[in-house]
Amino acid sequence: MNKIIFIILFLFPSLAVFAQSKSFDLLLRSMIKKTVPIIMVAELKTKKNDVFLLDAREREEYEVSHLKNARFVGFKEFDIESVKDISKNAPIVVYCSIGVRSEKIGEKLLAAGYTNVRNCYGSIFEWVNQGNVVVDMDNKPTQKVHAYNKKWGVWVKKGERVY
């Protein structure tokens, strides 16, 4: 009996993390329409230095932390002119909190003739949840992540949530 209890207690945290990961994936699948090709965090990590990273969150979110070398383009204030210096064939990855706003910005880029645009699946939340580094405005690693609001913040599992 003690062995069974030990096994359950040992496995439960792993099962809880797995269940939450599955829940986040189900949420993403219901919200992201895949109108822009997606890129998974693991793949982005290997290509991060070879793409233009565009942050499609609001400025206050970007200022808390962002992916290193990411360019702020915003969401509400996005203007296609802010990326006119990027070749229409250059590899571009857009991200936001979970991938919904970045998908909409990706759609605008595609409509403007950009041909190699991808949306980061799970975006910055998934990036930090997988243990990857984000930086502050001084380009220094930080544990802080703007979680958009408390409702969405439940999906940030690593780092320090900021609202």
Q: pLDDT in tens for each of the 163 residues of the chain?
A: 555 544 444 454 443 444 456 899 999 999 999 999 999 999 999 998 899 999 999 999 999 999 999 999 999 999 999 999 999 999 999 999 999 999 999 999 999 999 999 999 999 999 999 999 999 999 999 999 999 999 999 999 999 999 9
Do 84 and 137 lie in one domain? The reply is yes
**Residue range of the domain that includes 10:** 1-31
Alpha carbon 161 to chain centroid, angstroms: 14
pTM of the model: 0.87
Do 83 and 93 lie in one domain? The reply is yes
Do 109 and 42 lie in one domain? The reply is yes
Do 84 and 60 lie in one domain? The reply is yes
Predicted pLDDT of residue 149:
93
Do 78 and 4 lie in one domain? The reply is no
